[in-house]
Amino acid sequence: MDTESLKQQAGEAAVALAIRPSMVIGLGTGSTAVHATRQIGRLWQEGALPGIVAVPTSEATAQEAARFGIPLGTLDDYPCIDVTIDGADEIDPHFDLIKGLGGALLREKIVAVASRRMVIVADARKQVARLGSRAPVPVEVVRFAERPCTDHLTALGARVAKRMGTDGQPYLTDERNFILDCHFADIANPAALAQAIRQQPGVVEHGLFLGLATDVVLATPGGIQVLHRA
């Protein structure tokens, strides 16, 4: 089965697992989470999810949800979210994550922290023994602070690359910030690294999502696996 079909399976399985009528739902961003948004949209249109309202984690997700007519809200009106379904770039055995390759890590983390439950959807390739094995740690920084933030992250041991867009210009987040992709040779202590990254003024947020995921729905060639944090 191709990767896109596996992603769709994971997204749809997460919706079946976690979404019920009248919930406030966080809609994640990325190539796997979008399948969950589409499934929620289809169920909404069929009348199977009355009373829901969704808080999207990016402008792209908001546009996708609007295609299905999903009722949208903000954290001003719905500060407590029942469940968020989102993707991940890496998942370690403790359910700690690297997120942000889709460029929405700031809003994703804000929504995740506001959620009672966070369900991660991914294909099995995203499982790693240790964070940083494959993916860089994205760090969102204000443009004014690019140089001091780059120097700070380099001093922490990262090989830092400013993310560029498909147009050859620096990638800008929904908040109009830069993203610095930080490749670490070894992340032995994610919590300590997360704390160290935040010490530099100008760092807005980082892609280490620690202690937030409650469930993981993995699509594998052998079928769907649902994992729950102990």
222 burial type by CB count under 10 A (0-12 exposed, 13-18 middle, 19+ buried): exposed
Active site (annotated) includes residue 4: no
The whole-angstrom separation of Cα 42 and Cα 12 is 11
Residue 41 is predicted with a pLDDT of: 98
User: pTM to 2 decimals?
Assistant: 0.96
Residue 158 is predicted with a pLDDT of: 98
According to DSSP, the β-strands at 53-56 and 83-87 are unpaired
Mean pLDDT, the chain, whole residue set: 96
Give 172-202 pLDDT, tens digit per residue.
Answer: 999 999 999 999 988 999 999 999 999 999 9
Catalogue all structural domains in the chain, each as residue range(s) with its CATH number: 3-127+210-228 (3.40.50.1360), 137-204 (3.30.70.260)
The residues near 14 (Cβ < 8 Å, ≥ 6 apart) are: 36, 85, 119, 121, 215, 217
The residues near 125 (Cβ < 8 Å, ≥ 6 apart) are: none
pLDDT along the chain (230 residues), means of 10: 87 97 97 96 98 98 98 98 97 97 97 98 94 97 98 98 97 98 95 98 98 96 90
Q: For residue 112, give the 3-state DSSP assignment.
A: helix
Catalytic residue among 90, 108, 140, 205: 108
Residue 186 is predicted with a pLDDT of: 85
- CB neighbourhood size of 66 (10 A): 13
Give 50-75 pLDDT, tens digit per residue.
Answer: 999 999 999 999 999 999 999 999 99
The whole-angstrom separation of Cα 179 and Cα 104 is 10
Residue 1 is predicted with a pLDDT of: 66
Helical residues (DSSP H) of the chain, grouped into ranges = 3-18, 33-45, 59-68, 105-113, 146-155, 190-197
Distances 110 to 19, 68, 168 between C-alpha atoms, Å:
20, 24, 29
